[in-house]
Amino acid sequence: MSPRARRMWSAALFLLVLASSAGCATVRPWDRDLLAEKKMSFTPNPTIQAVDEHIYFSKEGSTGSQEVGGGGCGCN
Amino acid sequence: MLLATGLPAVARADNGSSQLDASLLLYGEQGRAKVYEPTVRVTRLFPDGQSLSGQLGLDVITGATPSGALPSGVPPPVVPGGGDNVQTMTAASGGGGGGSSPPDSGAIPVTRFHDLRAALDLDWQKPFGLITPALGGHFSRERDYQSIGGNAKLSLSILHHLTTLTAGAGFNRDDVFPSGGTRLPLSDSTIIIGHAWNPKRVNSGMVGFSQILSRRWMVGVNGSLSVEDGYLTEPYKVVSLMDPSSGLTVGQITENRPTRRNRRDTLTSSVYHLTRDILYLSHRYYWDDWGVTSNTVDLKYRHELGETELGRDAYLQPHLRYYTQTPADFFTFGLVQGAPVPAVLSSDERLGPLRTATLGATLGFTAFGTPGEWSIRAEYIRQFGKGHPGNVVGVQRDFDLFPPVNIGSLVLAYSIPL
């Protein structure tokens, strides 16, 4: 693994630990009104998100999203 | 790989419910490719929380794409008596027809093409208490490419549903069958070595972690990897040969890429709910063993408009995205005639040093008197790179070998319970 890749993984791990620590302050059930909204999602518009990922997959050399799998195409 | 679709949220009722999601993409690159992409998805949600969905999509693609060749450097001859001042070039997928080099000696040569792709996706998931498994399948076919794939994902909700752990895996069994046959790599593009299908296999895995930090804030971290094996070469792209002194193009050879590619990425996301609006922010870092690394920053701000003349529950969501990429190790704009030819090389600009800037917005609303939700997304994308490399000679030094590309896209989407 390259030094840069190691730094990125370390940063992601740090964020994960930080998030875990912060989450220990419990959010009570009656405080989850906003969290229950449909728009409180990492992909609030999954249809448009899928279209975007297809566009950038065709135009750029990278991949990666919230999901795994899917389909290939001759566009890249 | 990996055109993920994602499952839309479906309104739930005690006796189950169904939802229809339809969309239409209108996409156009200035002077290049045009795409029309309608999709339809039907989702059935059962009383026990199980959901099953199917999506059918079409891609109608026309226009032109860079061939990988350098500008000829020679003004085209004047045809006595007028007439089309063009040269024909080998067509890409879709067969038939010809391309044309533009009347500008410094313009990037393009190849005209047309294609039609159909795709079918099926997805299923069901919650079992704190655990939610999901399965998906995919099939798509176009003139010179077929993809068959599947994926599985498992989510575990812990710590009073404040933390979600996700793991997934996917596979693709793709095949490439270029129009006119498979060209011999690193040689004249007229040499055909066969008409058999060339397999391409992709196996991928993903782990994810999401955490609710407060009443308003949640974050997530995803890491994924994929391994590609098989025919990874772009069958229609070429690499130009330059005269060592003048830089004029004197020939071209077909490109050749490695037969294996290991990809990695980490995606960090944040969703923060303000008083009424929501801020979405994400960063993705990508790297692979071809030498490509990239950073993607994506920002969306959902501004709630409430009830407007268009309808109720309206919102306006501006979008900014910035992407930077380093080139693949074997990327080159061209070769000097007589120099050793590497075993792998490509002039495909998508593997070159490029940047993409996106500016757009989504307008969403529920029209009065109808239950469905409309979404209209318009975006401007500008892609640009470093078009003055140090390894070109002669007249090629005077040209911008990666001129900016202006792209516009419009998405119309409609979602309605059935």
What is the tens place of the pLDDT at every residue in B321-360? 999 999 999 999 999 999 999 999 999 999 999 999 999 9
How much is the ipTM here?
Answer: 0.87
Q: For residue range B192-211, list pLDDT tens digits in order.
A: 999 999 999 999 999 999 99
Helix (H), strand (E) at residue B92: none
Pair A10, A16: CB distance under 8 Å: no
The average pLDDT across B373-384 equals 96
Q: Which one has a higher pLDDT value, B12 or B251?
A: B251
B368 class by beta-carbon count within 10 Å (0-12 exposed, 13-18 middle, 19+ buried): exposed
- On chain A, the residues whose CB falls within 8 A of the CB of B220 are 42, 66
Chain A residue numbers with beta carbons less than 8 Å from the beta carbon of B61 are 75
Is B399 an 8 Å CB contact of chain A? no
Distance, CA of B405 to CA of B395 (rounded, Å): 22
B14 pLDDT more than 90: no
Domains and CATH numbers, chain B: 127-403 (2.40.160)
* SS3 of residue B31 by DSSP: coil
| Cβ neighbours for A30, distance < 8 A, ≥ 6 positions apart | none
Chain B nearest CA to A52, separation (Å): 9
B142 with A40: Cβ contact below 8 A: no
The predicted-structure confidence for B139-177, as pLDDT tens digits, reads as follows: 999 999 999 999 999 999 998 889 999 999 999 999 999
Residues in chain A with CB shorter than 8 Å from the CB of B351 are 61
Yes or no: say if B178 and B235 are a contact pair by the CB < 8 Å rule.
yes
CB atoms within 10 A of CB B157: 17
The stretches of B210-346 forming alpha helices (DSSP H) are none
The answer for B323, left when phi > 0, alpha when psi is -120 to 50, beta otherwise, is: beta
* Residue B103: per-residue pLDDT: 53
Cβ-proximal residues to A32 (8 Å cutoff; 6+ apart), any chain: B212, B215
Cα distances (angstroms) measured from residue A32 to each of A37, A46, B194, B215, B273: 9, 22, 61, 6, 12
The answer to whether B6 and A67 have CB atoms below 8 angstroms apart is: yes
Residue A19: pLDDT above 80?
no
**Whether A51 and B25 lie within 8 Å, measured CB to CB:** yes
Among candidates B27, B119, B205 on the partner chain, residue whose Cβ is nearest the Cβ of A71: B119
Distance from CA of A32 to the nearest CA of B (A): 6
pTM of the complete model = 0.88
A41: nearest CA in chain B? B271
Mode of pairing for the β-strands spanning B354-367 and B373-385: antiparallel
What residues have CB less than 8 Å from B339, skipping those under 6 apart?
A: none
pLDDT tens per residue, range B42-76: 999 999 999 999 999 999 999 999 999 999 888 76
B21 close contact with A: CB closer than 8 A = yes
pLDDT of res. A8: 65
- Which residues lie across from B316 on neighbouring strands? B303, B363
**Chain B residue closest to A9 (CA)?**
B266
| Contact between A2 and B223 using a beta-carbon 8 Å cutoff | no
Instruction: Spell B281-290 as b/e; 16+ CB within 10 A means b.
Output: ebbbbbbbeb
Surface of B (192-231) touching A: CB under 8 A = 200, 202, 204-206, 208-216, 218-224, 226
